Structure 1
């Protein structure tokens, strides 16, 4: 029986996927095998020794102490693409809000509510204050062509926009899904120089923090509009405010409001609604549950942020899973110990990611007493787990 502790309210569409004869699921379970979380912070929480995995029902994992988990061999999963359509739709809405002065017009009309019969005439007289350009025929630069970026690029092209995409790390899967009408930018600067609109769809990291700053704004067209529903830190806030105040940039739409941005008149601040749809919550929960089940039952890893993707179809009755530091001769030491114990290996896969490696080893026999302890004593091995095939 696997024990799953839930943190936050998790969609029942996901939780109902756990077979109740194999999983116990509750928000107050002690010593869980896995944690399923949405947005609550896990920083500062003491994890039990039983914990093998954490699944985030969403894309970002800054609410999870990933480095600490890696050191303990705890696999951290996220659900990239689960909320992609929700974010894409909000991006299209942001694109239109950035172009047409819709919000200002709505606010002005509401201010007329005491004018009674005068409202229709006042609307006709005042509507000229709220004009804005159409997006058809304009150029949009899409930075980051992952699950969301590809969908945004394709839909923008369908709306009649000229679309330039930039992603030096685009995956084969994403490239297959990208419309042939999308032009590929060789450099970020080349995209910025041509775009009337720029939308960001990249993760926040040391290399992307402050990706758009004063230097990049100087390259851009006067009056260009920027949409950032990815992460606030991708844009240098002080420098974009300066560019907006000087009217170098036209509008900044962001899903990450701050007091400084709210005080700037050329910003549209959305209260972090990118994934706030019931469909996105259902999709992310279902993805997270499937990934946890596959990992706990078979040891396979998909969509982990701290360990490599690793999958091996189980054909032998017993399976050994080893997490170790990515240093020389680890596989040799593991197989030597198993050979010394008379264990016949039927299949083996070893993948690494940065400082850590993960091994799936199928065997015909269970580990004899003492072998697991012998493996755990090897310098560099972080965690050892065994699985017997579930009928």
Structure 2
């Protein structure tokens, strides 16, 4: 009999779902890592929330484990790379607590605007300090929403009900989607300058880490209030503390922190700061919803092979999986490459399959490309949800198959259309299994992507490569591989450089200042 372990506190109805579908289930909450490792080999499925840590050690001992289901959005407690290596599917429930989290952001906005926690403490201490707690109305104020995905869109709707004017910064928000939501799409600097309240609803990525820092806060109007119910690390806590103490930021509220559990934050005790212990998803309704959803998803997969909300695999059969696996790696690299270089709203994604790949089931490849393209900036996107998100945002996704001969036996070409124009990247498989980038923006190049890559565009002039190499050498960063391409002598050139370690901000800035440099972007794979 198929057997599932529930190792975190879930609604009792989740266990009932497993039993009603003929699955044996054990509920063992509060296991130590050693205890979990000692028993995990008995189970085919594991249902968790945030307490259980699914580490490489746990996965190594999980000899029968086929699927991990996270009741909630974040999967920071699951080592997805290790799970993929062991063939374990990782699922989450990305929409089960969206309303709850959005409502908490609105509640925190009210608390910061009206100083509710401080007023409550003062009043219950026997004081009556009406003049001390002068608040601010939300009515007619401008709310700046950073990230207009599922949760952000709900916040927009609730804020409009409060008669707020809403502006939004989201590189993946199309003009059509912005119009549907009734928001004005703006660039980040414009949002910072205009907003009376700022609320964050983006994932924590290399691009969004520290998005609200001293430099960003300096661009805001005096008296702004900042709300973060998304992820710790989006706001630089030390910089926010300085701004609160100076009075430039009139109030702030955070449900998330750089280090959690947050037992000692620099923000604690700062005037006009409201804190809650990551309560965004903590309502009875949300807990019930995600518990029932994850039980259904795990049951479907274990009994029928159906995949829903998987983070590390597309929907496909076992037979197709073996054939598509090398192409999946190539598709992930192409999508991630384009996604990390996208800075403006997406309008269209076109994928051309040429040669032998055109005879295969390409839908999982398309899903993988779209998910990898959206992942650098969007929260909770996966191969299942990516097509839905693209449709919601009016991003046209098309694919074409050409079994005609091409320059390579097989090739995938990704063309991305943004508000600034169109660009493409193409790749192939060497030896039928090794992904290679072979064309970028019409320029031929042959590059294998490593973990840390530096992408440059420059004017093709003598001495540039030498100056670049010297700059990297002075930074103490070793070059692993160096790939070059150009349109013609003296014209546009590109370089893809694999580094042993990434550049820090100062080192990257020095590379940008080299003469003839047009663009420099660090990529991570």
| Pair in the same fold by TM > 0.5 | yes
Task: Map Cα deviations across residues 332-370 of structure 1 (whole Å, 9 max, x no partner).
Answer: 999x9xxxxxxxx9x885436379999xxxxxxxxxxxx
Is residue 15 of structure 2 the alignment partner of residue 15 of structure 1? yes
Q: Shift of residue 196 of structure 1?
A: 0.4
Task: Report what 2:73 is aligned to.
Answer: 59
Pick one of 59, 80, 90 that aligns with 1:76: 90
Task: Describe how 1:189-204 pairs up with structure 2 within 5 A.
Answer: 189-204=189-204
Q: Shift of residue 97 of structure 1?
A: 0.7
CA contact (8 A) 1:294 1:300 kept: yes
Task: Report what 2:368 is aligned to.
Answer: 353
Q: How far apart are the structure 1 equivalents of 2:298 and 2:310?
A: 10
Task: Report what 1:223 is aligned to.
Answer: 223
Q: How far apart are the structure 2 equivalents of 1:3 and 1:275?
A: 28
State the SS of the aligned residue for 2:321. strand
What TM-score, normalized by structure 2, do the two folds share? 0.57
Task: Report what 2:54 is aligned to.
Answer: 42
CA contact (8 A) 1:15 1:285 kept: no
Q: Shift of residue 87 of structure 1?
A: 1.0
Is residue 121 of structure 2 the alignment partner of residue 107 of structure 1? yes
Task: Report what 1:367 is aligned to.
Answer: none
CA contact (8 A) 1:94 1:253 kept: yes
Task: Map Cα deviations across residues 263-297 of structure 1 (whole Å, 9 max, x no partner).
Answer: 32231111111111111111111221222233233
Pick one of 286, 300, 303 that aligns with 2:292: 286
Q: How far apart are the structure 2 equivalents of 1:222 and 1:132?
A: 15
CA contact (8 A) 1:140 1:196 kept: yes
CA contact (8 A) 2:115 2:272 kept: no
State the SS of the aligned residue for 2:274. strand
Q: How far apart are the structure 1 equivalents of 2:278 and 2:104?
A: 10
Task: Describe how 1:163-174 pairs up with structure 2 within 5 A.
Answer: 163-170=166-173
Identify the structure with bigger relative contact order (alpha carbons < 8 Å, sequence gap 6+): 1
RMSD between aligned alpha carbons?
Answer: 3.4
Task: Report what 1:156 is aligned to.
Answer: 159
With over 3 angstroms needed to count, the CA separation of the structure-2 counterparts of 1:106 and 1:209, relative to structure 1, is: same
Q: Shift of residue 311 of structure 1?
A: 6.1
State the SS of the aligned residue for 1:203. coil
With over 3 angstroms needed to count, the CA separation of the structure-2 counterparts of 1:9 and 1:106, relative to structure 1, is: same
State the SS of the aligned residue for 1:9. coil
Q: How far apart are the structure 2 equivalents of 1:311 and 1:320?
A: 8
Is residue 305 of structure 2 the alignment partner of residue 276 of structure 1? no
CA contact (8 A) 2:83 2:89 kept: yes
State the SS of the aligned residue for 2:85. helix
Task: Describe how 1:1-391 pairs up with structure 2 within 5 A.
Answer: 1-20=1-20, 22-27=22-27, 30-40=41-51, 41-43=53-55, 44-45=57-58, 46-112=60-126, 123=128, 126-170=129-173, 175=177, 180-185=181-186, 187-256=187-256, 258=262, 259=264, 260-308=266-314, 310=315, 320=319, 322=321, 324-325=325-326, 326=328, 350-351=364-365, 353=368
With over 3 angstroms needed to count, the CA separation of the structure-2 counterparts of 1:350 and 1:157, relative to structure 1, is: closer
Q: Shift of residue 321 of structure 1?
A: 5.9
Q: Shift of residue 51 of structure 1?
A: 1.4
CA contact (8 A) 2:19 2:25 kept: no
Q: Shift of residue 15 of structure 1?
A: 2.9
- Structure 1 residues without counterparts, runs of 5 or longer: 113-121, 313-318, 337-344, 359-377, 382-391
With over 3 angstroms needed to count, the CA separation of the structure-2 counterparts of 1:244 and 1:348, relative to structure 1, is: closer
With over 3 angstroms needed to count, the CA separation of the structure-2 counterparts of 1:293 and 1:168, relative to structure 1, is: farther
How many residue pairs get matched? 331
Q: How far apart are the structure 2 equivalents of 1:219 and 1:96?
A: 23
With over 3 angstroms needed to count, the CA separation of the structure-2 counterparts of 1:171 and 1:270, relative to structure 1, is: farther
Q: Shift of residue 81 of structure 1?
A: 1.4
With over 3 angstroms needed to count, the CA separation of the structure-2 counterparts of 1:320 and 1:11, relative to structure 1, is: farther
Q: Shift of residue 181 of structure 1?
A: 2.7
Q: How far apart are the structure 1 equivalents of 2:137 and 2:17?
A: 45
Task: Report what 1:341 is aligned to.
Answer: none
CA contact (8 A) 1:37 1:56 kept: yes
State the SS of the aligned residue for 1:227. strand
